[in-house]
Structure 1
Amino acid sequence: MLDSLENSEENMNKRFLQINSDLIAYQNAAHAKGFLLQCYQMQGLSNAEEAAYTNCTRFVYSLEHGDLYLNQAFQSPLAIQPALAFYGLSHYIKACLLTVDADYPATVQVLAHGLSARKRKKQNYSFLQDEVRTQRYGLFTHFSNKMFHVEHLEGTKLKMNALLKQVPELSSIFSFQSGKAPFEKVQQKDENYAIPIQLLDDYQMTEHRFSEFLEAKTMGRVNVIEADKHLIYLKPLSLSLSPPFRFHFFTNEWVFSKSKESEAFYPELLIYYSLLYNLSMIARYETEWWYDLLKHAPGKEYSLIKYFTEVSIQKIPLLIAQFLHTQKNKPSNNESQ
């Protein structure tokens, strides 16, 4: 595990620059206007030309501001990385929202974070046992709905340990600490994908029940095709937008979550936003606990938090680039009918 972590860190700088270059392509006023116009026309907006012109500059600047925060986080000590990464992600998301919501922000209600952290006890606090609660209004609720069609999240408690287990790059740490990997590797079989039949044991389901459950939880985005003695064959509409499929940034492999909890079906940007929000709040307002963690590295939380923060700085631009690419290649309303 340690060798894999060291190898991944050696490639971080190269990967970071490469992935950020994918976002730079959108940071040209003329290209951005054309891209937004295409998005709005595909949505059938009657004022697509005007909306693209109005939002073009804000779209470009939001991406650029996100770049600045993430680049600064990349060069900063861990103590302030979560706050920088969180605000970088927030600005990226605001740019993405403009591709699906031409009127964003229509009200001041959507400008809040959209999450709240519970009051922490000074003693015996555990980040892994902590949680954040979703709010009725705010950025989190708004982008979950507009970008990923995830609704009815108000009042939901998001648990840090469950969210961290949905980050594929942390799988080796969880395996090392508990002996159990949170993911199964995905095998490509022609146009379909396959996972080991033993996953049914993790889900505690029969093949038929698993098929029904998966189709319901993914709203038809992932379907079971067939199964044999060793593998379950799946057909996702789009891997990048179909949790519980997730992409391992360092091994360049698709994996499938072993969890059947709600967190396994959240898009990865929701997971990063929730975790970084809580870590940034801790870094800003719970400095005593935060610096005790950083200086003394007690327990298993330190390695998870440290590596998650490093991974987030690397992977967020990739996830944003994936979303924008999907918007660019989405069929129009007429074509999809």
Structure 2
Amino acid sequence: MNQVPSFTSIFQSASYTRSYLMKKYELQSINNSSEKAYHNSYTFVYYIQIGHHYFQQGMKSPVPIKPVLLFYGLSHWLKAALLTVDPDYPATTHVLAHGLSTRKRKKQGYQFLSDEIRLQKNGLFPYLSEKLFHVKQLAGDKRTMRQLLFGLPEMQTIMRVLLKDEGLIHLKRMDNGKFSVTKKDLSQWDGPLSSWVRHLSHDAKGELTWEETCNEVQLTFLPRPVNDSLSFRTSVDFELFAPKNRSYIINLPELLVHYALLYSLSMICRYEAEWWGELIHSFSADDLPIITEYLDVSQTKCPWLLNRLFL
């Protein structure tokens, strides 16, 4: 199988980028597609390349400053993605802020997993959610770091080892093309099995049928939901996952989960130096291995998700 080229390599060409944007605009019946694609092509390339530099430096940097660089890298890439659906971005100053806020932290007893982000009415986060992913977010809604991390396939192992729990169920692909999950894995779902399937059906982007046996549930997708949605998550090796219980249904596409996590960590780096320094040097809590594992995951998963989004 041919390897998919990296979006950071392809979008070094302004001429290719211009034709890419024009096709995007034409599919959305945007007026003056050619003119707007020409106008945005270099801005798009700059977003991609500056984001690439931030991300590359973040990957090489030590943990104390890594989140800031990764966050700015991802932010630039997402701004480029916005130009594919909104040729006038940024049309107002309302979309320039982060779109998230963090609560005031207490110096004593603070735990990263219990920390929250609050969704704001304006800013990049809600604008991305609505324009790029067609999901309306409610201002004032909160998400904990625990919820966000439990919703990432690549974080399941470390969360299971350290916290004795998982947030996602692995949907195992069978030889007949169906997916299976054991009833034991579904034991944390609050309600009958039919309600779990019904929840997935709403977000399957196609037909979903199911069969129940003594020990497992078998699912058939037509087609398989290969694109990440609000319910399904796909790992970098294309394994499929779904929420284990309702508390981990967070109504966020995975790219926005990474944006929120990196935003929170970057804010800690910049404004909570005492707690951040103590965490890194004391090795006294589960927060450190979870954060460092997440940073490793994000370095692979964010470019992988963007590659799927762009190409």
TM-score by structure 1 length? 0.84
Partner of 1:280: 266
Cα pair distance change 1:72/1:19, threshold 3 Å: farther
Distance of 1:244 and 1:82 partners within structure 2? 26
Aligned counterpart, 1:52: 37
294 and 142 in structure 1: CA distance in 2 versus 1, 3 angstrom threshold = same
String of CA shifts for 1:116-173, please: whole Å, max 9, x gaps. 1111111111111110101100000000111111103211111111111112111111
- In the alignment, is the contact (CA less than 8 A) between 1:19 and 1:318 conserved in 2? no
* Pair 1:103 & 2:88 matched: yes
- 1:213 and 2:199 are equivalent in the alignment: yes
| Equivalent of residue 150 in structure 1, options 135, 143, 146 | 135
Which of 194, 203, 210 is the equivalent residue of 2:189? Answer: 203
SS at 1:186 equivalent: strand
Q: What is the deviation of 1:311?
A: 1.3
Q: CA deviation at 1:60?
A: 0.7
Partner of residue 124 from structure 2, selected from 127, 130, 139: 139
Q: Tell me the alpha carbon deviations over residues 240-289 of structure 1, each in whole angstroms, 9 at most, x when there is no partner.
A: 2224322223x552222313236454211111111111110000010000
> Is the 1:115–1:138 contact (alpha carbons within 8 Å) kept by the matching residues of 2?
yes
Q: How does 1:248-327 map to 2 (within 5 A)?
A: 248-249=235-236, 252-261=238-247, 263-325=249-311
Q: Alignment partner of 2:270: what SS?
A: helix
Task: Note if contact 2:50-2:76 (Cα within 8 Å) is conserved in structure 1.
Answer: yes
Taking CA–CA contacts closer than 8 Å with sequence separation of 6 or more, which of the two structures ends up with the larger relative contact order?
Answer: 1
User: What's the TM-score, normalizing by structure 2?
Assistant: 0.91
> 1:58-97 maps to which residues of 2 (within 5 A)?
58-97=43-82
Structure 2 letter corresponding to 1:289:
W
Q: 166, 170, 175: which is aligned to 1:185?
A: 170
- Contact 2:67–2:262 under 8 Å retained in 1: yes
Letter in 2 for 1:247: T
Give the 3 Å change call, closer, same or farther, for CA 294–239 of structure 1 in structure 2: same
Question: Is the CA contact 2:228–2:234 (under 8 Å) kept in the aligned structure 1?
Answer: no
Pair 1:37-2:22 in alignment: yes
The one-letter code of the counterpart of 2:234 is F
Of the candidates 205, 224, 227, which is equivalent to residue 240 of structure 1? 227
Query: Which residue of the partner structure matches residue 163 of structure 1?
Result: 148
Q: Deviations over 1:211-255 (max 9, x none)?
A: 333334x3x536530212122304266322224322223x55222
Question: What amino acid maps onto 2:233 in structure 1?
Answer: R
Q: Would you say the 8 A contact 1:20–1:67 is kept in 2?
A: no
What is the distance in 2 between the residues matched to 1:126 and 1:62? 34
CA separation in 2, counterparts of 1:72 and 1:84? 7
The answer as to whether partners of 1:74 and 1:313 remain within 8 angstroms in 2 is yes
Please say if residues 211 and 223 of structure 1, whose CA atoms lie closer than 8 Å, have aligned partners that are also in contact.
no
**Over 6 Å off, 4+ runs:** none
User: Structure 1 196/287 Cα, relative in aligned 2: closer, same or farther at 3 Å?
Assistant: same
Q: Is this contact kept in 2: 1:222–1:234, CA < 8 A?
A: no
Amino-acid identity (%): 36
- 2:190–2:245 CA contact under 8 A, matched in 1: no
Instruction: Name stretches of at least 5 consecutive residues in structure 2 with no aligned partner.
Output: none
Instruction: Give me the whole-angstrom Cα distance separating, in 1, the residues matched to 2:190 and 2:218.
Output: 15
